[in-house]
């Protein structure tokens, strides 16, 4: 099997696992990508699977309209391969190579008798536009209705932005190189990027590239992190030498950013999953960040891990519905259930209540999510303030997004950023 065919087979199996067998995108990619030796092949699999998930409603509409007989349940893998084929064409891959490799992948998957149909459908897609579909059609009815209720004026833009391919945001590790110097390295490598005027460490690339193509990535000069997530460091803004807790830290980007900006911070990074903590430690090692206390622990149960010394600043980047990052995790729309929201709201409240006593008087707690739902964000903070007399909300700048209760809400796509909520509280 050639590399091109193996790549399409891996992409089809990955998409099939997510669409038809309930696997998360992260888990499915984690299972398929290690088998591909070339990082360019791994990047291609990820790109086409993401594109197929974002545009699956349109692609399925094309199949329904163009196939002489509806594809059945036994054709689930073939459907996934066809969606991968459409995605390759819309991503601008050379049509001849994409068609040839996808048709050969049909045979490699034991569907030689359907190779002619695959060839005909993909050739038709090179001649005709695929059927249109409203972006909100990809959202479960209950979730689309909640977005419209929470953001009636902005809902259409939210749905449209969530179906778009996001830019690639980089965070320059100021401990080892300044942003202008790293920008010069990118340009020497033939990569065009632009600095963000609001974020001191951020660079934006319109087109994604494998991280191995980023100069100095393995040496820790740069990380991939969306601009909305980078803004958290400015919102928390701990004083030099402060004792800081990142309570839900994995995969470690925000903790790393804080440590890059100020090596004097005494930073503890927790996550409940030991495997994610090990990956977080690997990230810290790549970035050459020493002295960070990364440990597996349940932040909502401080009695099991806290040493009794209060923190000057606490970050709760809380588990949430991920409705602000659908463009990066489109499988959210397949796997999220209505009952999940109430459970997440309860978990977020438990984290706030458990960690507030660990904050020194006069200290700062930042609550953040990558959700756009009021129940997880503005309403969550309102309820916490109502039951916590010594919690005082602090004003945040307009650049962080829309006013949302006592916080700020960035909506997906605004400024090229992910959807994100921020609230900053001071302990009286």
For residue 317, give the 3-state DSSP assignment.
Answer: strand
Determine contact, residues 176/220, Cβ cutoff 8 Å: yes
Give dist(CA 249, CA 256) in Å, integer.
9
Burial of 116 (0-12, 13-18, 19+ CB in 10 A): exposed
Question: Is residue 320 annotated as a catalytic residue, yes or no?
Answer: no
Determine contact, residues 264/290, Cβ cutoff 8 Å: no
Please tell me which residue in 370, 396, 404, 411 is annotated as part of the active site.
370
Give dist(CA 167, CA 313) in Å, integer.
31
The string of DSSP codes covering 70-117 is ---GGGHHHHHHHHHHHHHHHTT--HHHHHHHHHHHHHHTT-GGGHHH
What are the φ/ψ torsions at residue 158 (nearest 5 degrees)?
A: -65, -45
Q: How many other C-beta atoms lie within 10 A of the C-beta of residue 403?
A: 13
For residue 287, give the 3-state DSSP assignment.
Answer: coil
Give dist(CA 224, CA 169) in Å, integer.
6
The string of DSSP codes covering 211-225 is GGGSTTTTTTSEEE-
Phi-psi region for residue 367, left (φ > 0), alpha (ψ -120 to 50) or beta? Answer: beta
Structure tokens belonging to residue 425: 């509280």
CA distances from 276 to 54, 65, 296 (A): 26, 43, 8
Q: How many other C-beta atoms lie within 10 A of the C-beta of residue 3?
A: 13
End-to-end CA, the chain: 66
For residue 14, give the 3-state DSSP assignment.
Answer: helix
CA distances from 19 to 7, 59, 272, 325 (A): 18, 13, 28, 18
Any idea which residues carry the catalytic annotation? 370
């Amino acid at each position: 099997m050639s590399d091109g065919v193996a790549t399409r087979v891996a992409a089809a199996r990955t998409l099939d696992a997510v669409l038809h067998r309930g696997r998360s995108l992260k888990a499915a990619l984690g299972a398929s990508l290690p088998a591909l030796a070339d990082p360019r092949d791994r990047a291609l699999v990820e790109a086409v699977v993401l594109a197929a998930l974002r545009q699956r409603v349109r692609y399925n509409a094309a199949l329904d309209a163009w196939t002489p007989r509806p594809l059945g349940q036994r054709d689930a893998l073939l459907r996934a391969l066809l969606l991968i084929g459409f995605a390759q064409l819309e991503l601008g891959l050379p049509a001849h190579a994409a068609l040839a490799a996808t048709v050969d992948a049909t045979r490699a998957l034991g569907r030689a008798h359907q190779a002619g149909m695959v060839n005909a459908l993909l050739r038709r897609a090179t001649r005709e536009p695929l059927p249109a579909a409203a972006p909100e059609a990809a959202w479960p009815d209950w979730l689309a209705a909640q977005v419209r209720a929470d953001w009636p004026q902005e809902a259409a833009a939210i749905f449209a932005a969530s179906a778009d391919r996001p830019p690639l945001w980089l965070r320059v590790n100021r401990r080892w190189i300044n942003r202008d110097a790293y920008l010069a390295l990118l340009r020497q490598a033939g990569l065009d990027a632009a600095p963000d005027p609001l974020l001191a460490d951020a660079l934006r690339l319109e087109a994604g590239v494998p991280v191995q193509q980023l100069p100095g990535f393995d040496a820790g000069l740069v990380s991939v992190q969306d601009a909305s997530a980078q803004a958290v460091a400015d919102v928390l803004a701990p004083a030099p030498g402060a004792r800081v807790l990142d309570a839900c830290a994995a995969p470690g980007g925000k903790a790393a950013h804080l440590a890059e900006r100020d090596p004097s911070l005494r930073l503890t990074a927790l996550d409940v999953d030991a495997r994610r903590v090990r990956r977080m430690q690997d990230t810290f090692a790549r970035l050459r960040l020493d002295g960070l206390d990364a440990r597996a622990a349940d932040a909502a149960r401080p009695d099991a891990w806290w040493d009794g010394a209060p923190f000057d600043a606490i970050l709760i980047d809380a588990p949430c519905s991920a409705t602000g990052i659908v463009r990066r995790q489109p499988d959210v729309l397949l796997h999220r259930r209505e009952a999940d929201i109430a459970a997440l709201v309860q978990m977020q409240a438990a984290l706030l209540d458990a960690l507030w006593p660990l904050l020194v008087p006069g200290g700062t707690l930042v609550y953040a999510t990558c959700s756009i739902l009021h129940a997880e964000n503005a309403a969550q903070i309102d309820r916490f303030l109502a039951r916590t007399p010594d919690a005082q909300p602090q004003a945040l700048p307009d650049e962080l997004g829309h006013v949302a209760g006592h916080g700020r809400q960035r909506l997906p796509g605004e400024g090229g950023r992910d959807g994100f909520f921020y609230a900053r509280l001071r302990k009286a």
